[in-house]
Every structure is written in C-alpha cells, then in structure tokens.
Amino acid sequence: MVNLSFEILVRSYYYKFQIPIRSFCQHIITILLCIQCTSHVSSQGRFDYNTGIQQAYIAASSLDFKRGHQILDSIRHDDPTNLAVVHIENYIDFFTLFISEKQSDFDQLKTNKEARLKLLDTADPSDPYLPFVQAEITLQWALIRSKFDELFLSARELYKAYHILEDAKADNPHFLLYNKSLSIIHALAETIPLPGFVKSVIGVSGSIEQGVSEITALIDYLQDRPDTRLFSEESQAIYAFIILYQQNDPQAAWDYYLMSQVSNNPSPVAKFVGVKIAQRSGHNTEAIQILDTVTDTQFGQFPYLSFLKGLCLLRDLDDQAEQYFQHFLQHFQGRHYIKEAYQKIGWSALVIDNNIPRYKTAMAACQDRGYATIDDDKQALKDANSDQIPHPQLLRARLLYDGGYYQRAFTSLIQQSHTLYYDEEYKAEYLYRMGRISQMLYNYPDAIGYYREILGTDEYSTTFYACNAALQVGIIYEDQGDKTQAKLYFDQCLSLKPDTYQYSLHQKAKSGLNRIKDQSK
C-alpha cells in the first residue's frame, strides 16, 4: 500500500516538483562524492571487505577503473562467494557515469543494477551487510538516474533505498554503517520542498540534528573497525558537507576537512571534495593550491576539475582562467555546466580584457550549446538571452567576493558607488553586492541596511537579490542570537518567489528555521 501511495504521489507531483527532486538528488551526489558484471555464485554469499576489496575501492575512487576491475576479477576467481565484489563494482559504475555523463555508457551500464541485486539474493537474509549493500547500490543508481533526467525512477529508487536502510536499522540498531546514507537523507529531509502530507505518506523524515548525530557516531565506529575502514573518508566527507550546507558553517566545514583523512588523499575525487569545500568557505587561494596538485592525467580523467580550476582562477581575476574552461569543453562528454563554462569565458573576456565582442561570442555559444537543466546552466542561458551586458566593476566585485577576497571586492566597488547607486539598471545588484561584502567584513549594520533597501523596493521582489537578502538578514540575526528576527526574515525569504535559485534559497531558509528550532530544544 505504501509503495502504491508513493507511486501515485510521485506521478501527481512529478511535473510540479521535478526540479526539487533533481536538486535534492544532486545535493546527495555532491556529498557522496566528497568522498560491472554478472557471475554465478554457487554457495551462500557473504561480505568480506578484505585488503583486496579495499585496494579495489581505492582504485575506483582514484578513477583507475581498469585496475579496479582487475583486482575484483581476481577476487571473484579466488573467492566467488565474496559479495563485496558486487558492491565495489557498482562504485566503479557510479564514478564512471557521474564523471563522464555519457549517455551511451549509461544505456550500456544501467542493466547492471538488477543483475547485481539478484546476485545479492545468495547472501544470508540475516546478514546486516545485505541491506546496507542493497541500499547502497539502489541509492547510487537513483543518483545517477537524476543526472540523466530519469527523475521518476530516481525518486522511486531513493525512496526504496531509504526504507531499506530504515527497516534494517530497526532490526540491527548497532550496525552503524546504515548511517552513512541515512545521515544525508535525514539531514536534508526537513528541507525537501514537498507538501507535508506528501512527506508523511512516503515516510521520509529526519532533521539536521539527527543527521549529524548519525554520521558522527559512524565516524567514531569506523575507527575501531579495520574491516570497513574504507568507508571512513566517505563518512568524513559527508560530515563536512552537512556542516557546510545544512549547519551553514563554512569555516567549521573547512576546519574539519583540514583535520580529516580526506585532505591527505591524493585521489582526484578527494581533491574535488577539498576544492568544493574551499570554494564555499571563501578559501579560493587554498582551492587553487589543491588544484595545482592535479596531474594532467587526473584532469583528463575528471574534466570537471578543469572547470573548477578555471572558476578559481577567474575569481582571482587571473587571465589563465579561460584555458581551463576550454579544456573542460574539449574533454567533457556530458550535459551539465557547458552553458556555464561559456558564460564564464565571456566573463573572463569582460573583466580581464574589457572585450565586449569576445563576450558576445561566448554568450552566443552559451545559447546554442549544452543543456539548461540545472540552476547554474539555466542562469547562464538567462544571462545569454538578456540584452544587458554585466557592468564590469560589479562583475569584478562579484568574482572577488566569491573567491573570498572581500577587502579587494570592497575597494573595487566603493570607487564606483556614487555612479552605480543612482543607475536604476544596476542599483539592485549594487545594493546586494555591497550587502554581501559588508556582511563578510562583519559590518553587520551596513549589510542589514543594504539588504533592507532591496527588500523595501517592490520592483525587486521577484529577483534573486531580494530573496537572498531576506535569507542573509535572517542568518545575521541567527548569528547574533536574535531568533525572533531571524525567523521573521527566513519566513520572508520563503514568501518570495525569485526567477532563479528559488529551490536552493528556500532550502537554506528552511535549514535556518530548523536550526533555530533545534537550538530552542
């Protein structure tokens, strides 16, 4: 009955909520990273995460898929009942498809899911590892399907994996590996933008506090379990991202990352995790330093790292940024971030060379190439379709701010303050940029003043600037311990319907409200 109810509800809300479902799955994907194959098993299978399995896992996360398969083939030959092979083979598919986004690979590999789950049927039904691996395989395919726009199937598999883990945890409460994925879902559950009765029927619940409790318990548990220590770094990456996104504490997330095992891992996936946390916490220089250790081979294996390096260099106004965006475009075979890459090439032309013709050429390519399915590509396309060319000084300030160079951003913008404030075309963005910069320089009175001027202007009410201004005022009051004012502005953020980034802004506002609620307990 619950499965039927879930299917009816997902079909009913599919078109209305397809972007939130995709975004929710993509959150889990950034977090799981911050971190084929059929055979006959003649006797009862079991799960042994021995040294060979751990070596195969390391090869998979290092994107050395050939070596990973060689190790797993050898283990299967010598130990045909070890079903941990099936688990790690699924990791290889997951990393392959997440990174390449090649439709042909997806079409070829997606049949592996059911074949692997069938192999798991040979395990002892009472083995606590069985539901853990079943859920891991199901969840990984749910996340991959969201990459390839199979959103209905993605939602169904996410639901199935969640309930496998919840039921298993009820039966085996001391087997803490279930917390690895449950912590993510529980931490995000209270901010999923679905109606309350939908959540109630499909049975997805949780809180940030619950997710934190679960993942920290797992991290402690894994320190004393050498047989499953291979999941330790993944768990640490998950915790860092929960701190970053759900607890909204970027500096704490960066500090935790630096002391974690992930920061010493040379794999491209671990470097991806470090760069994302560094970027989000205003440590752009440190992100560049991490990317400087990426080899040519790793850039070839993981072209998105080229995109990230281009972005980091652009935020430092470095004229070498464009070459990394071009490298990404030449080597990436997927669908996402292509429009954004062309947008950023246009920005580079504008802020570094003030070359308007090159900017327009890049934005024309942005219109014609790639897909507008994720927020960043949608925003890039919207900019490309606009007749308005960004103001170079505002764009420089934005890039410097995004890189954590707050004083440089302030100095750059204050020189044009009088002109920009009285220019109706750019006033809203000027107020917003000054508010953000002042906030990060801990000048809260000025920041609140800039934000309130945006919120007090009706014509700005449908813009990203107004919605995020309300969110940021809420965060400032939360930091100052004024929960009443914080709640007022988080609620105002939720009442606004901006033309871009509505889902992510509303999710952050809901996280803020839940943090306030948790602090009041």
Are 281 and 239 contained in the same domain?
Answer: no
Where helices occur in 415-482 by DSSP H, the ranges are: 417-421, 427-440, 444-455, 464-479
> Binning pLDDT at 50, 70 and 90, where does residue 2 land?
very low
> Binning pLDDT at 50, 70 and 90, where does residue 38 land?
very low
Are 313 and 390 contained in the same domain?
Answer: no
Query: Tell me, what CATH number does 22's domain have?
Result: 1.25.40
* Phi, psi (rounded to 5 degrees) for 354: 50, 40
> Binning pLDDT at 50, 70 and 90, where does residue 367 land?
very high
Mean pLDDT of the chain: 89
pLDDT exceeding 90 applies to what percent of the chain?
74
> Binning pLDDT at 50, 70 and 90, where does residue 223 land?
confident
> Binning pLDDT at 50, 70 and 90, where does residue 31 land?
low
Given a cut of 50, whether residue 19 has pLDDT beyond it is: no
Are 63 and 184 contained in the same domain?
Answer: yes
User: Using CA atoms, how far apart are residues 422 and 418, in angstroms rounded to an integer?
Assistant: 7
Residue 348: its H or E element: helix 338-353
Are 432 and 322 contained in the same domain?
Answer: no
**How many residues in total does the chain contain?**
521
Residue in 336, 347, 431, 435 with CA at minimum distance from that of residue 377: 336
What the block records as the tokens of 462 is 């449908």
Angle at 347 between CA 345 and CA 351, to 5 degrees: 125
User: Using CA atoms, how far apart are residues 370 and 385, in angstroms rounded to an integer?
Assistant: 14
Structural domain containing residue 272: 264-331
Q: Which tens digit of pLDDT belongs to each residue from 303-343?
A: 999 999 999 999 999 999 999 999 999 999 999 999 999 99
Tell me, yes or no, whether 360 lies in a domain: yes
Residue in 148, 141, 132 with CA at minimum distance from that of residue 182: 132
Query: Which of 49-58, 214-223, 240-249, 458-467 comes out lowest in average pLDDT?
Result: 240-249
Residue 128 three-state SS? coil
Are 284 and 353 contained in the same domain?
Answer: no
Given a cut of 70, whether residue 17 has pLDDT beyond it is: no
Examine the fold and report which residue of 223, 248, 273 is the final residue of a domain before the chain moves on.
248
Contact assessment for residue 394 and residue 426, using Cβ atoms and an 8 Å cutoff = yes
> Binning pLDDT at 50, 70 and 90, where does residue 207 land?
confident
pLDDT of residue 25: 56
User: Using CA atoms, how far apart are residues 188 and 192, in angstroms rounded to an integer?
Assistant: 7
Are 336 and 300 contained in the same domain?
Answer: no
Are 83 and 223 contained in the same domain?
Answer: yes
User: Using CA atoms, how far apart are residues 8 and 22, in angstroms rounded to an integer?
Assistant: 19
Strands (DSSP E) along 225-379, which ranges? Answer: none
Q: Which tens digit of pLDDT belongs to each residue from 65-104?
A: 999 999 999 999 999 999 999 999 999 999 999 999 999 9
User: Using CA atoms, how far apart are residues 372 and 378, in angstroms rounded to an integer?
Assistant: 5
Contact assessment for residue 429 and residue 464, using Cβ atoms and an 8 Å cutoff = no
How many domains does the chain divide into? 3
Cα 212 to its chain centre, rounded Å, is 17
User: How many Cα neighbours within 13 Å face the side chain of 333?
Assistant: 14
Contact assessment for residue 96 and residue 65, using Cβ atoms and an 8 Å cutoff = yes
- 457-481 average pLDDT score: 96
Are 413 and 498 contained in the same domain?
Answer: yes
Instruction: Tell me 246's DSSP state.
Output: I
Residue 440 three-state SS? helix
